[in-house]
């Protein structure tokens, strides 16, 4: 892996799949797989920070995950708090800028409060931008942007003829994040599952068999190695 700053992907996004499979293989409950996934996530943030990745965004709960059994949804809803309890202080002390993207209307008030507080507390941090996509859907994000744009046009805040890709981007949940350079999905599922549809327009895609709880530093190194071999042309020659 070439650690030179301009050779590293600036923004890595990860679809952390395979917690359930990992648990099943061990005869454990799916929830224990998710719990292990939180630890893997913490290790991954640390490692990204260590090697100089500027933006890391992970998919933790999709707008479609509500259709899982209630018991699992209830557990998944508790994960952000579990994550914050374990890792909040480290994020504050180590320059991690924390954000959550996604819908906010179905989340409990006390969780929203904790998220908001930490977002404000880490506002000045810029060692690594860590973003949790929670109750997030790429299609929902685009529809939400279109609605906000329609309102702003109606209220004469913007002119329709000024709307271009750059301006549209400012209405996405990710307005403060750059486009994704490298998208990683674990657990041998070759699909996007409604994650960051706009932001991955020119991402390099990397799929691995490794289940998320087994994902280690060497797995990230392999993904970055592969990324560095790709010839990114962005539609040019």
53, 79, 179, 183: residue in contact with ligand FPP (rule CB under 6 A): 79
User: Considering Cα of 7, then 15, then 41, then 18, what sign does the dihedral take?
Assistant: negative
The residue (of 53 and 77) whose beta carbon lies closer to ligand FPP is: 77
DSSP state of 224: H
* Contact string 83-122 vs ligand FPP (x = CB under 6 A): x---------------------------------------
Terminal Cα distance for the chain, rounded: 25
Chain length of the chain: 237
Least Cα distance to 200 among 141, 153, 146 occurs for 141
Choose, by CB under 6 A, the member of 60, 118, 223, 224 that binds ligand FPP: 60
> Judging by beta carbons within 10 Å of its beta carbon (0-12, 13-18, 19+), is residue 164 exposed, middle or buried?
exposed
**Least Å from the CB of residue 199 to ligand FPP:** 19
Is 17 designated active site?
yes
CB of 127 to ligand FPP, least distance (A): 19
* CB 222 to ligand FPP: min, Å: 19
Contact call for residue 187 and ligand FPP (CB under 6 A): yes
Give whole-number Cα distances, 224 to 12, 16, 52, 74, 138, in Å.
9, 16, 12, 34, 24
Q: Is 210 in the site for ligand FPP (CB under 6 A)?
A: no
Dihedral pair phi/psi, residue 184, rounded to 5°: -110, 135
Catalytic residues: 17, 65
List residues binding ligand FPP (CB under 6 A): 16-21, 34, 37-38, 41, 60, 65, 76, 79-80, 83, 132, 187, 212
């Amino acid at each position: 892996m070439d650690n030179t700053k301009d050779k590293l992907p600036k923004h890595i996004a990860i679809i952390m799949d395979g917690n359930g499979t990992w648990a099943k293989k061990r005869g454990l409950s799916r929830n224990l797989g998710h719990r292990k996934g939180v630890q893997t996530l913490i290790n991954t943030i640390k490692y990204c920070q260590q090697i100089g990745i500027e933006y890391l965004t992970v998919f933790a709960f999709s707008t479609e995950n509500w259709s899982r059994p209630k018991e699992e949804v209830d557990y998944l809803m508790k994960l952000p708090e579990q994550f914050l309890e374990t890792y909040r202080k480290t994020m504050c002390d180590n320059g991690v800028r924390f954000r959550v993207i996604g819908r906010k209307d179905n989340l409990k008030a006390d969780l929203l409060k904790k998220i908001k507080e930490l977002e404000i507390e880490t506002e000045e941090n810029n060692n690594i931008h860590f973003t949790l996509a929670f109750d997030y859907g790429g299609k929902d994000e685009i529809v939400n942007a279109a609605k906000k744009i329609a309102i702003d046009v109606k209220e004469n805040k913007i002119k329709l003829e000024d709307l271009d890709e750059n301006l549209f981007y400012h209405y996405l949940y990710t307005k403060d994040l750059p486009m994704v350079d490298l998208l990683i999905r674990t657990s041998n599922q070759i699909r996007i599952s409604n994650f960051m549809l706009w932001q991955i327009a020119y991402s390099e895609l990397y799929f691995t068999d490794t289940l998320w709880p087994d994902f280690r530093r060497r797995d990230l190194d392999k993904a970055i190695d592969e990324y560095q071999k790709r010839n990114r042309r962005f539609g040019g020659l």
